[in-house]
């Protein structure tokens, strides 16, 4: 066997088990498919593609469509294969070996994972018990580590918490490095940092087509930021990294904004219904601005509840063994029927197991 890079030996990889169940609420996908009219438009354009040619290297049409959607210029947009590849390209460009990357834990695990893969040192700030970030902790992390890149995920995964604007403002004041606001779930929340973007500020915002656009199967994400930043990413990413089919799929999706808004409205309403129903049970619920909810049962262990749900063919994300998330589970908002099946199963497991644990 050939040994891997010394600094990769301890790395574990990112796991999200894919089990065959009736109700799958574990990966924050949309439960609803994109509109049929989008499929038809996609099929029509795909039939005209010159497949023997490389794709548009700059993905001009797609960038322009994303830029128009957000009211920015196309040279403020960079797209890649899922926002994970966007994050990787950002870290290859602004972090890499010998530089440090700051996160506030618990948060999206791929930030630290990708940072390690590109050879950076990860500095983990700690959130408070309610998962908010204390400005004093932010100051400690930024002043001690002087990170080249700092991540703020809003809404945060897996907690669902939305960062207040002042937190991003404070971070920009404190830090001399790049601030990446990961807004994979922002359209489910009540605000976005988009209006804080400025050519003179090192703030960039990442987004994805995987959630609100119901297109996790396409693998498409993007970042909006100052033009000097976008120009550097374009130098680092592989040539022709975005295939023709994906460019078309993304560009056409942006013609169906009203349908996307309708889906988001339904999921937000269901999130509120589900959160309220869980709060009626012996369960602590973290307020969420995303398409998922983090919760912690009080009368059984998180692991026992997860297994009880799986036994009833309902799969949620088991965060109970993750650092700082003892007994926590995360449920993705599904269709009304799926959410009902989930709530019934939770009540059932608690009734069955809680009796044995109640003092
Ligand atoms: N950021 C956050 C906070 C996420 O939760 C996810 C998906 N789980 C991503 C980025 C990556 O999304 P994708 O690569 O599908 O665009």
Give per-residue pLDDT as tens, 111-157: 999 999 999 999 999 999 999 999 999 999 999 999 999 999 999 99
265 CB-near residues (< 8 Å, 6+ apart): none
- Host domain of residue 251: 36-255
- Does some domain include residue 147? yes
Pocket probe mutation, ligand 1, options 184, 213, 222, 330, max atoms within 8 Å of Cβ: 184
Is the pLDDT score of 327 beyond 90? yes
Q: What is d(CA 181, CA 133) in angstroms, rounded to the nearest whole number?
A: 14
Distance 188 CA to ligand 1 centre (A): 14
- Of 201, 226, 255, which marks where a domain is finished? 255
Ligand 1 neighbourhood includes 90 CB (under 6 angstroms): no
Ligand 1 neighbourhood includes 28 CB (under 6 angstroms): yes
Ligand 1 neighbourhood includes 108 CB (under 6 angstroms): yes
306 CB-near residues (< 8 Å, 6+ apart): 316, 318, 320, 329
CATH of the domain at 178: 3.40.640.10
- Does some domain include residue 1? no
Task: State whether 275 and 307 are in the same domain.
Answer: yes
Structure tokens at 194: 């988009």
Helix (H, G, I), strand (E, B) or coil at 342: helix
Pocket probe mutation, ligand 1, options 113, 210, 332, max atoms within 8 Å of Cβ: 210
pTM confidence score: 0.96
**235 burial level (CB within 10 Å; 0-12, 13-18, 19+):** exposed
Structural domains of the chain, count: 2
Specify the residue with its C-alpha closest to ligand 1, atom 2: 184
Task: State whether 201 and 272 are in the same domain.
Answer: no
Task: Write the pLDDT tens digit of every residue in 25-50.
Answer: 999 999 999 999 999 999 999 999 99
Task: Write the pLDDT tens digit of every residue in 56-99.
Answer: 999 999 999 999 999 999 999 999 999 999 999 999 999 999 99
Ligand 1 neighbourhood includes 84 CB (under 6 angstroms): yes
Handedness of CA 192, 197, 202, 205 (dihedral sign): positive
Ligand 1 neighbourhood includes 182 CB (under 6 angstroms): yes
Q: What is d(CA 66, CA 80) in angstroms, rounded to the nearest whole number?
A: 12
């Amino acid at each position: 066997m050939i040994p891997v890079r010394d600094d990769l030996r301890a790395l574990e990889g990112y796991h999200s088990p894919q089990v065959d169940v009736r109700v799958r609420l574990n990966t924050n996908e949309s439960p609803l498919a994109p509109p049929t009219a989008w499929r038809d438009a996609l099929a029509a354009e795909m039939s005209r593609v010159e497949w023997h040619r490389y794709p548009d290297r700059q993905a001009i049409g797609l960038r322009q469509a994303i830029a128009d959607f957000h009211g920015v210029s196309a040279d403020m947009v960079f797209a890649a294969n899922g926002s994970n590849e966007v994050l990787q390209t950002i870290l290859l460009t602004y972090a890499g070996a010998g530089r440090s990357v700051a996160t506030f834990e618990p948060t999206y695990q791929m930030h630290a994972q990708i940072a390690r893969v590109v050879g950076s040192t990860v500095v983990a700030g700690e959130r408070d018990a309610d998962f908010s970030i204390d400005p004093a902790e932010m100051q400690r992390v930024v002043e001690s580590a002087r990170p080249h890149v700092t991540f703020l995920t809003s809404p945060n995964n897996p907690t669902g918490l939305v960062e207040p604007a002042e937190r991003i403002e404070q971070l920009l004041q404190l830090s001399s490095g790049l601030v990446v606001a990961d807004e994979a779930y922002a359209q489910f929340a009540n605000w976005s940092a988009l209006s804080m973007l400025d050519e003179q500020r090192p703030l960039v915002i990442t987004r994805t087509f995987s959630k609100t656009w119901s297109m996790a199967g396409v693998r498409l994400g993007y970042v909006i930021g100052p033009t000097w930043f976008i120009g550097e990413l374009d130098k680092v990413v592989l040539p022709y990294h975005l295939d023709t089919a994906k460019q078309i799929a993304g560009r056409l999706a942006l013609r169906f904004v009203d349908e996307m808004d309708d889906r988001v409205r339904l999921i937000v309403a269901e999130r509120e219904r589900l959160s309220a129903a869980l709060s009626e049970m012996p369960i602590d619920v973290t307020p969420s601005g995303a398409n998922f909810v983090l919760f912690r049962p009080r009368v059984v262990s998180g692991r026992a509840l997860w297994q009880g749900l799986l036994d009833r063919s309902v799969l949620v994300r088991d965060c109970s063994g993750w650092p700082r998330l003892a007994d926590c589970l995360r449920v993705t908002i599904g269709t009304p029927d799926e959410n009902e099946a989930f709530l019934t199963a939770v009540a059932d497991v608690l009734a069955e197991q809680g009796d044995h644990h109640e003092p």
